[in-house]
Chains A and B, each alone.
Chain A
Amino acid sequence: MREVAIIGVGMTKFGELWEQSIRDMFAEAALKAMENAKVEKIDALYVGAMSSGLYAYQEHLASLMADYVGQIGVPAVRVESACSSGGQAVRMGYIDVASGMHDIVLVGGVEKMWDVEDGTFVLATASDQEYEAYNGVTFPGLYAMIARAYMERYGLTREELAQVPIKNHKHAVNNPNAQYPFEIDLKTVLNSSMVADPLRLMDCSPITDGAACVILCPLDRAKEFTDKYVKIRGVGAATGPIALHDHKDLTRLEAVNIAAQRAYKMAGVGPEDIDFVEVHDCFSIAEIVVAEELGFFEYGKAGKAIAEGQGTYGGKIVINPSGGLKAKGHPVGATGVAQIIEAYYQLTNQAGKRQVQNARLGMTQNMGGSGGSCVVHILEGM
């Protein structure tokens, strides 16, 4: 297999983009990425989107996007794995370049979430439709059940749980693309409206429009295009039970651990070598469980550690320097690609005020449903 580099990135601002359609957003991000990489023609295109059909009444997305970024003729395919669609698209692009099939590959993710009223219904399609959603459980409801099981077993308090979104909002202040670049305090979290007990609105990632794109090429060609590139050093993906109730232990997301072990093995590194990580904090509890599955903290310990400042600058590892899904925003299919972009900025020393000093190895973790799928990337600055 060939080594693979990321040579350019582009994204829209994340937020409520009333003026932009799904194709407008994708085109903006894709053209920015191509300009950034100084690439005019691509060899293949992958686009991650969870539910363009239910959100934007548009399937056949990859063909549409190839057409609207001036690349008719290229092979293009949409990748879907619920909330991990974007990260999985990056993995498909990686495999494509690594295999030698194509050289210049555009990988994007997009989701247009604000055009429909009943987004709660759409998100619940990431669960087992007939045996979870049919019985009234919402997507926040699934993570609420993880939170309750975790809090009861490990004694995590409501106040400690609140420190996850508080930290992520603090990080987002320095991210110009973030949907909510402002700080929140404990009172704001604890007084926000209840969504699925014990999770409140401020525990939940928001509804977001947005797109994010990266350009991949063989590592040995990267210098032809730019001196700002990063290497994809490890990739791991795994599946878990589709239904939360089939997880043997409700306080774990085992697919995350399996995906991470695969990525660590491929990269030849361990958790102690990683300088920062972008994790899939779709809900506050998710960041805690994921930080444990990735090996940064022992099981049952991440909640308290993050509450004590171990997940931010000056702590054990910076978790979600971008602000994470909670504060940067979570346009479902775009999220996994946007995580890669944050890692690219950090590893090329372009992250401005949120720069993690001397960052050399970064990790991204993107997850579908209640742990039904997960993809992890380890990126290296050159």
Chain B
Amino acid sequence: MANSQRYTREIPHRYRLEAQKFPSGFVSLPNRYVDPISGKKEFEKIKLQGFGTILSYTIIHIASDQFKLLTPYAVAIIETDEGARVTAMITDTNFEDLKIGARVEFVLRKIMEEGASGIINYGYKAKVIG
């Protein structure tokens, strides 16, 4: 398993949803250096407000060892209100309330533990609202 810096460097994105808005309107949660649409290198730093809409979702029944204890769990592709595309686990939601077009709110949650003595990893999940 990885050293802690692999996780700490992603904290601004995972804990605080710090993102970049590029001239084409493309919004990226991971660090990028070039706008994938326009090729331009300028961007504005923005903070995602943490709300979005489900574009598609699945319920995972067979997971890797890291997530096996959580099955079945839902994962969705979400477009945030700012236009960022994000893949997130769904939490605090009944499966029946999942649908394409459902509104979600991002929340900070534990993602996984790297074994008994490893790092506890945090990040965003999303829950269906209203």
Q: How far is the CA of A244 from the CA of B72 in the complex (A)?
A: 21
Question: Which residues on the A side are within 8 Å of B86 (C-beta)?
Answer: 131, 245
Question: Which residues on the B side are within 8 Å of A136 (C-beta)?
Answer: 60, 63, 66-67, 70, 73, 75, 89, 111
Number of A residues whose C-beta is below 8 Å from B? 36
Nearest CB on A from B82, distance (A): 14
Q: Please, which residue of chain B has its CB at the minimum distance from the CB of A195?
A: B62
Is A140 within 8 A of B123, CB to CB?
no
Is A118 within 8 A of B87, CB to CB?
no
Q: B96-121: which residues lie under 8 A (CB-CB) from chain A?
A: 100, 111, 121
Question: Which residues on the A side are within 8 Å of B44 (C-beta)?
Answer: none
Segment at the interface with B among A63-71, A145-153, A321-329, A330-338: A145-153
Given contacts A145-B57, A149-B100, contact A135 B111 (CB under 8 A): yes
Nearest CB on B from A173, distance (A): 27
Q: How far is the CA of A197 from the CA of B89 in the complex (A)?
A: 14
Binary CB contact string for chain A from 232 to 276 against chain B (1 if under 8 A, 0 otherwise): 000000000101111000100000000000000000000000000
Q: B17-67: which residues lie under 8 A (CB-CB) from chain A?
A: 29-30, 36, 55-67
Nearest CB on B from A147, distance (A): 8
Q: Please, which residue of chain B has its CB at the minimum distance from the CB of A146?
A: B56
Binary CB contact string for chain A from 194 to 221 against chain B (1 if under 8 A, 0 otherwise): 1111110000000000000000000000
Q: How far is the CA of A140 from the CA of B64 in the complex (A)?
A: 11
Q: How far is the CA of A121 from the CA of B67 in the complex (A)?
A: 10
Residue A144, interface by CB 8 Å: yes
Is A250 within 8 A of B89, CB to CB?
no
Is A149 within 8 A of B62, CB to CB?
no
Question: Which residues on the A side are within 8 Å of B57 (C-beta)?
Answer: 145, 148
Looking at the complex, which one of A148, A195, A246 makes contact with B61 (CB distance below 8 Å)?
A: A195
Is A138 within 8 A of B64, CB to CB?
yes
Question: Which residues on the B side are within 8 Å of A198 (C-beta)?
Answer: 58
Question: Which residues on the B side are within 8 Å of A241 (C-beta)?
Answer: 36
Q: A106-150: which residues lie under 8 A (CB-CB) from chain B?
A: 117-118, 120-121, 124, 128, 130-138, 140-141, 144-146, 148-149
Q: Please, which residue of chain B has its CB at the minimum distance from the CB of A201?
A: B62
Q: How far is the CA of A243 from the CA of B36 in the complex (A)?
A: 13
Is B77 within 8 A of A244, CB to CB?
yes
Is B77 within 8 A of A197, CB to CB?
no
Q: Please, which residue of chain A has its CB at the minimum distance from the CB of B90?
A: A136
Is A138 within 8 A of B62, CB to CB?
yes
Nearest CB on A from B47, distance (A): 17
Q: Can you list 6 A-B pairs, Cβ within 8 angstroms, ordered by A?
A: A121-B66, A130-B30, A134-B111, A149-B56, A193-B62, A245-B78
Binding site for B on A (CB under 8 A): 117-118, 120-121, 124, 128, 130-138, 140-141, 144-146, 148-149, 152, 193-199, 241, 243-246, 250
Known contacts A135-B111, A245-B87, A250-B56; can you find 5 more A-B pairs with CB under 8 A? A121-B66, A148-B57, A194-B72, A196-B58, A243-B85
